[in-house]
Structure 1
């Protein structure tokens, strides 16, 4: 009996030793596995040294675009070409010159006619050239307004791309900050797991959060490359040319009411000025069509060489000359009446186009005004309330987790709230900047310059 008890006791002791060794092996393997998992999930940082991007000022970009943008250069050339049309349309037609060579000389009483020289000039009814000049001048004004519209449109697109560049750069900075915070949280989770006060699930979730932040980082860098390529396209540069970092824009302040902005847009927006110039041109075209009832004059001079005659008169053999006066007869009503009707329809069309442009302007000003107002208010709310509160909560939860007083999920939730608040503030601030740029584009004036002029006058 005693021998059996001894054998049983030895088996029990051996079983306990095996159990202890197995638990130790599992514990060490799990630690190694967690470390290996950490190495697999974490994406190594690029150690290649990158040259820091130079700061990029919006004013420099706009000034460069005004000189190099193909759109602006083309519209400016069209305006300069339209100005030359004034001289073309107010000039007289080329004079006509001719020579009649007589075959069988025409015999007259004072001698045979040998050769005839002639020159003539068509002179349109005076008011016609005047109306054509007014039409060309109105077209030149419309071309200048189109040039201003293209310049402001390019400036607006470039400004909004610059703000997109700021958004990506600022968001990348926030993600880098959050990534550093997550790595610190991951280190704490691994330390707690190593001393068996935490779980492997916390380590895995921390690593997953780091990987997700890296995903957002790579997407933002790709977006930055796209924005840089669009900026280079506007500036007529190589798409691969590097673009510097955007400088933090100042907070725009709107000092005008909606009614004041609408009035400014009606007075200054290039599209409205273009439509008004085209209305004026159609009015001049209508008056020109009505002048078709008045004849045009053709005045000339003819000189005829006369040979020696057979008479004894004093005029015998002398050359002759004359001033012929001719004018057209506007009698074909099937041409004149449709021209007048066409001109009247164009007047109506241009006035309707002007109303359409004004209505579109009203909408764009109102839309940009309220988009700016709401975006800047939400941005201020995040900046003054949400972000400070989220930062306090994150700091408290981080300290609590390190002291083993709160669980890991609460800490991650605080980190996400802080992260989303920072990104949302940047997003709404960028939207406010872009809406303000749209407002400047819709009104056709630099609101900051007008505000400064108003301060000086007061």
Structure 2
């Protein structure tokens, strides 16, 4: 039965092939120009620059010393000293630091992908109300045209003594209500256009192309639920942060190990004038090896513990996010089914209301009575047409939310 209802809706409402292409084009524009999304990508690019910073050796140290009072030696007075030293962290420290930075950069890229998907959902949530507004304006204008024709008929019947002045006043009241509603809808267009255009980072007055019709898809049960917890970039980002914290734990452990240094001292020696000795005034060259002694262990233990706590924190965040995704999916899936059922209902109610209105109007044309019932049925038809347009829009908004939850790729 449900599949039959879906087929009826697809026939009555048309398809969405044209819409998909149009909205995809807007997605591409937003991906290239939205400043918030660009900022996320810059954050990723900046994180990449951390990799060469932390995986490189520290700069060598060069020092120079001049003896104000030369130190006398057998081969002459020492006049100046040049020193060059290079420190080396413990084996594997640089690689671990580079791995941690690379993993954090990859996590930021996954956050960028999640932000892009969220932007697509925000665009859909801003785009479909423009369709709803256009449909409401069209419906309201048709309602005004019908009411004006009703007013003409009511006036004619009153002049021919086949109707009452009350009928004319009733339709005039409803006509003014409809004209006011249409004016309010016209005023609503600018803020909706501004909101959508600003997501594209373009002028607020730019024209937005709206599709001609909306349809619904026949979705299988548990649609894309299998990808809910496997491909979502936010979960991937947390996985990468956990791995980066594990690498940081290794870094913290290795930083608590001795660092090795090698160096070279060059001493300039002056010649002795008071004696003739072998190697007189010969400069001295002295290789050196140094080792740091990390005896203050509290900071290293704290650094290791910090990395472990970060792993636990990211693990808990991942579990919380997965729970939210699961509950969010079930709610969105319910809303999709709800809107699908409502669309089917409103389509049927619209058809029956049109039939009832035609019958009532034919009876009024013959007898000149029950004009109030004609007006009531006209407003009932107007309500169902608007509710159908709203249900179509809500269906596509929650479908866009489902696409975000399941990390649909475009």
User: Residue 162 of structure 2 contacts residue 368 of structure 2 at CA under 8 Å; is this kept in 1?
Assistant: no
Matches within 5 A, 1:2-401: 57-239=22-204, 241-248=205-212, 250-253=214-217, 255-258=219-222, 261-309=224-272, 314-383=278-347, 385-401=348-364
User: Residue 90 of structure 2 contacts residue 255 of structure 2 at CA under 8 Å; is this kept in 1?
Assistant: no
Structure 1 residues without counterparts, runs of 5 or longer: 1-54, 450-458
Residues 8-39 of structure 1, C-alpha deviation per residue, up to 9 Å, x if partnerless?
xxxxxxxxxxxxxxxxxxxxxxxxxxxxxxxx
Structure 2 residues without counterparts, runs of 5 or longer: 1-18
- Aligned mates of 1:256, 1:316 — CA distance in 2: 95
Q: Tell me, what secondary structure is at the counterpart of 1:267?
A: coil
- Aligned mates of 2:295, 2:219 — CA distance in 1: 62
Instruction: Assess, with a 3 A threshold, how the Cα gap between structure 1 residues 375 and 397 changes in structure 2: closer, same or farther.
Output: same
Q: 2:366 aligns with which of 381, 387, 403?
A: 403
Q: 2:408 aligns with which of 442, 445, 454?
A: 445
- Aligned mates of 1:76, 1:300 — CA distance in 2: 42
Deviates more, 1:401-410 or 1:277-286: 401-410
1:431 paired residue number: 394
- Aligned mates of 1:273, 1:218 — CA distance in 2: 48
- Aligned mates of 2:107, 2:183 — CA distance in 1: 47
User: Residue 214 of structure 2 contacts residue 392 of structure 2 at CA under 8 Å; is this kept in 1?
Assistant: no
Deviates more, 1:144-153 or 1:332-341: 332-341
Q: 2:382 aligns with which of 395, 419, 429?
A: 419
Q: What displacement does 1:352 show?
A: 0.5
- Aligned mates of 1:213, 1:355 — CA distance in 2: 52
Q: Tell me, what secondary structure is at the counterpart of 2:113?
A: helix
Deviates more, 1:244-253 or 1:127-136: 244-253
Deviates more, 1:195-204 or 1:301-310: 301-310
- Aligned mates of 1:166, 1:266 — CA distance in 2: 33
What root-mean-square deviation, in Å, do the aligned CA atoms of Structure 1 and Structure 2 show? 1.9
Q: Tell me, what secondary structure is at the counterpart of 1:57?
A: helix
Q: Give TM-score scaled by structure 1 length.
A: 0.81
Residues 285-316 of structure 1, C-alpha deviation per residue, up to 9 Å, x if partnerless?
22222223311112211111122246655433
Residues 198-217 of structure 1, C-alpha deviation per residue, up to 9 Å, x if partnerless?
11111111011111111221
User: Residue 286 of structure 1 contacts residue 347 of structure 1 at CA under 8 Å; is this kept in 2?
Assistant: no
- Aligned mates of 1:284, 1:256 — CA distance in 2: 42
Instruction: Assess, with a 3 A threshold, how the Cα gap between structure 1 residues 410 and 255 changes in structure 2: closer, same or farther.
Output: closer
Instruction: Assess, with a 3 A threshold, how the Cα gap between structure 1 residues 202 and 242 changes in structure 2: closer, same or farther.
Output: farther
Select the structure of larger CA radius of gyration.
1
- Aligned mates of 1:250, 1:71 — CA distance in 2: 29
Q: Tell me, what secondary structure is at the counterpart of 1:116?
A: strand
- Aligned mates of 2:67, 2:112 — CA distance in 1: 58
